[in-house]
Structure 1
Amino acid sequence: MSPRVKWGLALLSIPIMLWTVIPLLWMVALSFKDAASQSNAPDMNMFGNFWPKEPTLQNYREIFVGSARDLFVPALMNSIIVCLVSTLISVILAMFCAYAISRLDFPGKRIILGTALTVSFFPVISLVTPLYDLWRAIGLFDTIPGLVLPYLSLTLPLSIWIMTAFFQQIPWEMEQAAQVDGATSWQAFRKVIVPLAAPGVFTTAIITFFTAWNDFVFAISLTSERARTVPAALAFFTGASQFEQPTGAIMAGAVVVTIPVVILVLVFQRRIVAGLTSGAVKG
C-alpha cells in the first residue's frame, strides 16, 4: 500500500470516528451536567455548551444512592444475571449444534441452518403479544427464566451460524488423529476441537452477550418490576417533578451500562479480531 493510499484512508477514517465518538462523548457530558447546566447556559458550559465547566457526580449518586437507586441497581443486577445465563446456554447449545452440522452428514442439515437463519430475521415485536399472554398463563411473566428463554430465540440462531463456520474451518484429520492415539470422541472434541475453535467461541459469546445486553423490547414487555433489566428501567426514570426530564440520570445510567461493553472489547480484543478473521485466508 502506497503512502498516498495510507494517508487517504487515514483522512477518510477521521469523520467516521468523529461520527461514532461524538454521540458517546455527548452522553458522557450530559451525565456530568446538573439541571442548570443542561439548560444550555453558556456561562456554565464550554465548547459550545458541549462540556460543563464544573462537572458533577450528582447524576451518578442519584442512580446508585439516590432516589433512582431502587430502580437502577436491581435492574443492573438483573441485566448481568440474564445476559450471562443467556450467553452461557446459547454458546453451549450452539457449540454442540454447530459441531454436529459441520462434522456429521444427516438429512435435514441444510433445513436446520435455513431455519436458524429465518428465525434470526423474524421481527421481535411480533413475538411479544403471544409470549406475553403465554408467560402470564404459565407464571413466567416478570421472572429471570421468562427473559432468558426469549433471549435464546435471539442469540441461538446467530450463534449456530457463526460457530458452524468456525468448526468447518478445522481440519477433520486432527480429530481423527486424536482418536487414533486413543482419545474418545468426547475427548477429541474437548481437548482438540474446542481449543482450536476458541476464537470463534469467544466471538460468539461476546456478540451473544451484546445482543441480550441491549435488548429493550422483551425487557419492557415481559417484565414488571422484579426482573426488569437496565434498558427497560431507564424508560421509567422520573425527574424531581412531572415537568422535569431526568436527562442526567438517564445518561449516567447509559454510561454505566456501556462500561461492561467497553471492558469486554478491550480485554478480548485480540480474540475478537482473531475470531472474526478466522478462515478468511486458506493455507
Structure 2
Amino acid sequence: MIRPRIHFHFRWVHLAALLVALFVAAPLYWMAVSSLKPMEEVGANPPTAWPESLTFENYRQAFADNNFGRYLLNSALVSLLATALVLSLSAFAGYALARLPLRGKSPIMIALLMISLFPTIALAAPLFLLMREIGWLNSYQGLILVYTALNIPFAIWILRNFFLQIPKEMEEVAWVDGASPVRTVLGVILPQALPGMFTAAIFTFTACWTEFLIGLTLNTADDYRTMPVGVALFGSTFTVPYGTIFAAATVSVLPIALLVLVFRRAVVSGLTSGAVKG
C-alpha cells in the first residue's frame, strides 16, 4: 500500500516542476519569438504565437545601428576579469575561514553576509565620487574593481562552506609530503572544490553580466557602456524599438543559458554539497 502512494506523490511533484518550468520558460519564449517579428507585428492585437513574417531585421538593427556588439564585448571583458579576480581572492579567504585557527570567524561571516545584502543603490553615489577622484570614470578597471568588491562576500560564503566538506586528512598528507600552505590550496583543495568554484563563478559572472545601476553610474561614454545599460538606452524620445530590444535581450541571455546547461551538474553539486551546508 505504500509504493502506490509514493508513486502518486512523485507524479504530483513532477507535474508541479513542469508547471514551474513552463512559467519560467514562457517569457523567454515570447522574447525570442518577438525578436523575429517585424515592428508592426510585435504590438499586434491579438498577439501571434509565431511570426507571420519571419525577419532578422531586429538583430541587424541591434548590431549595426545600435553598437550592441561593442556593449557585448564590454560586458564580457568586465564580467570575465571580475569573475577571475573574485575566484582568486575568495578561494584563499574561504580556505582561511574554513581551516585556519582565526579569531572572530563568526563576526567575519556575519559581516560578509551583511555586506552582500547591502543595497547597491546606496553605493552608487559614493562610488561615483570615489571613481571621479581617482580618474576611473568611463573605464574598464573602475567597473572591474567595483564588481569584484561587490561579489567577493557571497563567493567567500559559497567556497568557505564547501571547503568545510573536504576531509582534513587530505591536507595533512600534503603537509607530511612537504607541501606549503599555498601549494596545498592550489594542488589539493581547489581540485576537490571544483563544483563550488563553478557555482561561485557562474553566480559572479551572472551578477556582473546583468548589473545595471553601477554600470550606468560609472560609465556614461558609449564606448565603455555595458550590455544592460546599452540595451536600456535603445530608442529615442518618441519611439521605443521593442523588436530590437527583444533581439538584444535574446542574445544577452544566451551566455548565461549556455553556462548553466554546460555546467549544470557542477552547479547543482556545488549548491547541494557545499553552499547549503556548514
Provide the TM-score with structure 1 as the length reference.
Answer: 0.91
Moved runs in structure 1, 4+ residues, more than 4 A? 279-282
CA RMSD of superposed structures (Å)? 1.8
For residue 222 of structure 1, report the CA deviation from its aligned partner: 1.0
**Structure 1 segments unaligned to the other structure (5+ residues):** 43-47
Q: Is the contact between residue 161 and residue 276 of structure 2 (CA under 8 Å) also seen in structure 1? A: no
Q: Is the contact between residue 162 and residue 200 of structure 1 (CA under 8 Å) also seen in structure 2? A: yes
- Flag the 1:281–1:77 CA change in 2: closer, same or farther, 3 A: closer
For residue 134 of structure 1, report the CA deviation from its aligned partner: 2.0
Q: Is the contact between residue 170 and residue 193 of structure 1 (CA under 8 Å) also seen in structure 2? A: yes
Aligned residues: 272
- Flag the 1:279–1:211 CA change in 2: closer, same or farther, 3 A: closer
Q: Please give the alpha-carbon distance, in whole angstroms, between the structure 2 residues aligned to 1:11 and 1:237.
A: 40
For residue 232 of structure 1, report the CA deviation from its aligned partner: 0.5
Residue 27 of structure 2 corresponds to 23
Q: Is the contact between residue 234 and residue 245 of structure 2 (CA under 8 Å) also seen in structure 1? A: yes
For residue 224 of structure 1, report the CA deviation from its aligned partner: 0.8
User: For 1:222-233, what aligned pairs fall within 5 Å after superposition?
Assistant: 222-225=218-221, 226-233=223-230
Asked if 1:235 corresponds to 2:244, the answer is no
Q: Please give the alpha-carbon distance, in whole angstroms, between the structure 2 residues aligned to 1:208 and 1:61.
A: 30
Asked if 1:244 corresponds to 2:248, the answer is no
Q: Please give the alpha-carbon distance, in whole angstroms, between the structure 2 residues aligned to 1:207 and 1:112.
A: 21
For residue 145 of structure 1, report the CA deviation from its aligned partner: 1.1
For residue 41 of structure 1, report the CA deviation from its aligned partner: 5.3
> Which residue identity lines up with residue 209 of structure 1 in the other structure?
F
Q: Is the contact between residue 162 and residue 275 of structure 2 (CA under 8 Å) also seen in structure 1? A: no
**Structure 2 segments unaligned to the other structure (5+ residues):** none
Residue 60 of structure 1 corresponds to 59
For residue 281 of structure 1, report the CA deviation from its aligned partner: 11
Q: Is the contact between residue 154 and residue 211 of structure 1 (CA under 8 Å) also seen in structure 2? A: no
- Flag the 1:188–1:153 CA change in 2: closer, same or farther, 3 A: closer
- Flag the 1:97–1:202 CA change in 2: closer, same or farther, 3 A: same
- Flag the 1:220–1:49 CA change in 2: closer, same or farther, 3 A: same
3-state DSSP class of the match of 1:36?
A: helix
Asked if 1:265 corresponds to 2:260, the answer is yes
Residue 129 of structure 1 corresponds to 125
For residue 111 of structure 1, report the CA deviation from its aligned partner: 2.4
Q: Please give the alpha-carbon distance, in whole angstroms, between the structure 2 residues aligned to 1:67 and 1:214.
A: 22
Q: Please give the alpha-carbon distance, in whole angstroms, between the structure 1 residues aligned to 2:86 and 2:139.
A: 19
Residue 17 of structure 2 corresponds to 13
Residue 45 of structure 1 corresponds to none
3-state DSSP class of the match of 2:240?
A: coil
For residue 15 of structure 1, report the CA deviation from its aligned partner: 2.2
Residue 84 of structure 2 corresponds to 88
User: For 1:91-106, what aligned pairs fall within 5 Å after superposition?
Assistant: 91-106=87-102
- Flag the 1:110–1:79 CA change in 2: closer, same or farther, 3 A: same
Residue 253 of structure 1 corresponds to 248
Asked if 1:74 corresponds to 2:70, the answer is yes
Asked if 1:33 corresponds to 2:33, the answer is no
Between 1:53-62 and 1:182-191, the stretch displaced more is 182-191
Q: Is the contact between residue 143 and residue 227 of structure 1 (CA under 8 Å) also seen in structure 2? A: yes
Between 1:3-12 and 1:81-90, the stretch displaced more is 3-12
Q: Please give the alpha-carbon distance, in whole angstroms, between the structure 2 residues aligned to 1:25 and 1:281.
A: 31
Q: Sequence identity, in percent?
A: 40
Q: Please give the alpha-carbon distance, in whole angstroms, between the structure 1 residues aligned to 2:276 and 2:163.
A: 15
Residue 201 of structure 1 corresponds to 197
- Flag the 1:203–1:281 CA change in 2: closer, same or farther, 3 A: closer
Q: Please give the alpha-carbon distance, in whole angstroms, between the structure 2 residues aligned to 1:184 and 1:150.
A: 32
- Flag the 1:177–1:13 CA change in 2: closer, same or farther, 3 A: same
Q: Is the contact between residue 120 and residue 153 of structure 1 (CA under 8 Å) also seen in structure 2? A: no
- Flag the 1:83–1:279 CA change in 2: closer, same or farther, 3 A: closer
For residue 279 of structure 1, report the CA deviation from its aligned partner: 4.8
> Which residue identity lines up with residue 97 of structure 1 in the other structure?
A
Q: Please give the alpha-carbon distance, in whole angstroms, between the structure 2 residues aligned to 1:82 and 1:172.
A: 36
For residue 280 of structure 1, report the CA deviation from its aligned partner: 8.7
Q: Please give the alpha-carbon distance, in whole angstroms, between the structure 1 residues aligned to 2:56 and 2:194.
A: 40
Q: Please give the alpha-carbon distance, in whole angstroms, between the structure 1 residues aligned to 2:258 and 2:71.
A: 20
